[in-house]
Amino acid sequence: MTDQTTDGTVRLFSPGRVNLIGEHTDYSGGLVLPMALGVGITIEGTVTPGVVALRSDAVADEVHIELPVGSGVDEPAGWGRVIAPLLEELGLGADRGLTASLSSNLPPASGLSSSSAVSCGLALALAGRGSSWDLDRMALAGACQRAEIAATGVNIGIMDQAAIVVPGPGEALLLDCDTLATEPVRLPDGLEVLVVHSGVYRQLESSQYNDRAASAAELTRRLGPLRSVDLATVEALDDEVLRRRGRHIVTENARVLEMIEVFDRGDVARAGAILDEGHRSLAVDYETSNDEVDAMVARVRATPGVLGARLTGGGFGGSLVAFCEPGTELDVDTWWTRAAPAGGARFLD
């Protein structure tokens, strides 16, 4: 069953996300703590059986696909390449379709999951309000994850999609990427979250993201599920690169658990210190930062009122997340915003 509106119009908002802690742990079945943002993608259009026709205010290219999608369909290039695998994942017939415009207030190449906001938003728009995909948001997240992997060849985990479609308003999301169990998390009073573009733009396809995912797979092959591996076992590895990659994953999972504890007791100073530790681990052990990003982290961290800061998202550029005292102002020449848990993708009345 679907329930757009009686005249077939579709309006929804699909947010970007910022990951508070738990970076590069999702594709090895680890723990993550993201939250949906108040900025994202707005989709407005009408149900048009037999065709998907899309345009975006961010790019000139338009997308046009006839339905049903077959295995031999010519996929559009660029931003529309996810549409065909998404339609196949959703298993929708030719009676579904969409003609729509997409508008975004997310900065491009910011590491805030604009591409996943598009895929998740379009999946909901195509499936419809009240559909089985709308009612089982984790299943929807999995379908969008698989479609994005098929479209880009980047072996992403499920964090981005889950963070975009699952959380309730005012709640961050603790996600176990092995069991897919979730738990809502409230941020403590006296803690403000800032999201800051590092000034380094990036695309995961041209980064070393897949190399890091391959390292995690090799660690799992050698040691078993990384959630069950202790630090001493990782430190005993004779491969220096794998040792550093494993050290990040094991300690990052521990940081997620500690962050939940310090949120519960309202220890905002320790919460900031965990961000600092997380960035050092990403920069030194996982090597997903660079000199420019490190310089921006240091600049933000030196601002009065900032309690901690780190690179967030896939890395190799993109955005930072900072924990601050309320009202903290940044003096940077890049895009930044105050952020609060805004809830997952939703239909607009």
Instruction: Just list the catalytic residues.
Output: 160
Instruction: Give the closest residue to 12 by CA, choosing from 38, 56, 42.
Output: 42
Determine the Cα–Cα distance for residues 172 and 227; give it in Å rounded to an integer. 21
Strands 51-56 and 98-104: parallel
List C-alpha distances in Å: 164 to 39, 118, 183: 11, 10, 15
CB 219 within 8 Å of CB 242:
yes
The sign of the dihedral angle between the CA atoms of 158, 159, 163, 164 is negative
In a 13 Å sphere around the CA of 346, the CA atoms on its Cβ side amount to 12
Residue corresponding to tokens 């591409």: 115
CB 328 within 8 Å of CB 302:
no
Instruction: Give the closest residue to 177 by CA, choosing from 193, 163, 187, 197.
Output: 163
End-to-end CA distance of the chain: 18
In a 13 Å sphere around the CA of 156, the CA atoms on its Cβ side amount to 30
Determine the Cα–Cα distance for residues 134 and 128; give it in Å rounded to an integer. 7
**Which tokens go with 71?**
């295995």
**Which tokens go with 281?**
């681990």
Q: Give, for 114, the enclosing helix (H) or strand (E).
A: helix 114-127
**Which tokens go with 250?**
């094991």
- Please, which residues bridge with residue 320 across strands? 196, 311
Report DSSP state, residue 285: I
